[in-house]
Amino acid sequence: MARVGIVTFLHNDNYGSSLQAYALQRVIRDLGHDCLHLDYQPDRKEKLLNLVRSGNRPGLILEGLRKKRVKAGQAGARRKSGSFSAFYQRRMKLSPRCRNRRELREASEDREILICGSDQIWNPVWLNEAYFLTFAPEGVRKASYAASLGISRLEDPRKAEKIRRWTADFQAVSVREEEGAAILEGITGRRPEVMPDPVCLLSREEWAEIASEAPSREPYLLCYFIGENPAYWEAARRLGRERGLPILVLPVTGESYGQGLEMLDGVGPEEFLGAIRNAALLCTDSFHGLAFATLFGTEVHLERRYRDGDPESKNSRVDHFLRALENRPLPAQREAGRRWLEKLLAEI
């Protein structure tokens, strides 16, 4: 039995992030290992230090403040934020809260291997060396499972060099998209393996075990949009009229709160799963929205959030997911991911 620590996004109030974290820990524990997440929630000083160390653009701070204003102005958004901590307490094992790299190091001293992943933890737009495990105590092995860069190309040579240095001592590297594998091969000279997002490691039946009941007895169209675009809502209303379906909204943005539609406001991860599982149609621009709809067999209308020519476009996530489905069904992807983890941990 290996003692495993996982580092990934836990505190960004995102359903997909929390559920991929749950899935990876559950699978590793099902394989017979002692596994916990390092509960990384950087304080203000740590965030500012990381901004300098990583060379990220200061505008990220303004984007974060804008998201906080949405949460501050909506009681449902505040309830939703609190639901994630409750979900972790019910479903997962976490370390004490880690506010900086020193505390991450202390929390990982009894671990034999640290795994970073999944989600966009390696996206160069918001690079953070903590998600490359640079804090790891000496002798603790490092690996990544399905870490996502999120982009199709990396044009900043300074960030490329940081990624090269920060991954040089990894025992094993896997990424989530072929595009990310190509970028890392160009940076490091080594081609990482491509593994499915952790949510794909659990079956439809396993996700149904924790999904809440349907939010409505009648068929409904569900909207779950991460981005802001008036065209999203025009398409959703048109589809609702054509199908004769009432519209329910899982609100994320300020725009989603202003649509005058019925909202599933303040719900937690289990309710998120139940809403997607029981929808007649999901309208979304979300990678994990698409992934869960596919797992549950829910029909999807997918909107593209980014312009394909944008160097920060994250469309590669959904593009790779759809391509992978054409070549390998989800059960085969699930088996490949589990085998990869099993082999990695057997070598500890």
pLDDT digits (tens, 9 = 90+) for 293-317: 999 999 999 999 876 666 656 678 8
Residue of 222, 245, 242, 219 whose CA lies nearest to 232 = 222
pLDDT value at 51 more than 90? no
Percent of the chain with pLDDT over 70: 97
Burial of residue 197 (number of CB atoms within 10 Å: 0-12, 13-18, 19+): buried
261: left (phi over 0), alpha (psi -120 to 50) or beta: beta
Quick one: pLDDT at residue 311? 63
Residue ranges of domains in the chain: 3-203+329-346, 211-312+319-323
Q: Mean pLDDT score of the chain, rounded to an integer?
A: 94
In which band, very low, low, confident or very high, does the pLDDT at 57 lie, cut at 50, 70 and 90? confident
In which band, very low, low, confident or very high, does the pLDDT at 272 lie, cut at 50, 70 and 90? very high
| 3-203+329-346 CATH choice from 3.40.109.10, 3.40.50.2000, 3.40.50.300, 3.40.50.1220 | 3.40.50.2000
Q: What's the CA dihedral at 265, 271, 272, 278 to 10 degrees?
A: -110
Torsional sign, CA 119, 192, 169, 164: negative
For the domain covering 211-312+319-323, report its CATH number: 3.40.50.2000
Span of 231-245, 263-277, 301-315 with lowest mean pLDDT:
301-315
Mean pLDDT of the region 281-286: 97
Which strand (E) or helix (H) includes residue 197? none
Residue of 224, 240, 329 whose CA lies nearest to 287 = 224
Looking at the DSSP bridge assignments, the partners of residue 145 are: none
113 contacts 83 by C-beta, under 8 angstroms: no
The one-letter amino acid at 212? S
Domains 3-203+329-346 and 211-312+319-323 share a fold: yes
Quick one: pLDDT at residue 27? 98
Mean pLDDT of the region 36-60: 90
pLDDT value at 178 more than 90? yes
Interatomic CA distance for residues 348 and 346, integer angstroms = 6
pTM above 0.85, yes or no: yes
Mean pLDDT of the region 48-64: 81
Residues in Cβ contact with 270 at an 8 Å cutoff, skipping those fewer than 6 apart: 87, 210, 211, 212
pLDDT value at 63 more than 80? no
Quick one: pLDDT at residue 74? 84
Mean pLDDT of the region 77-84: 93
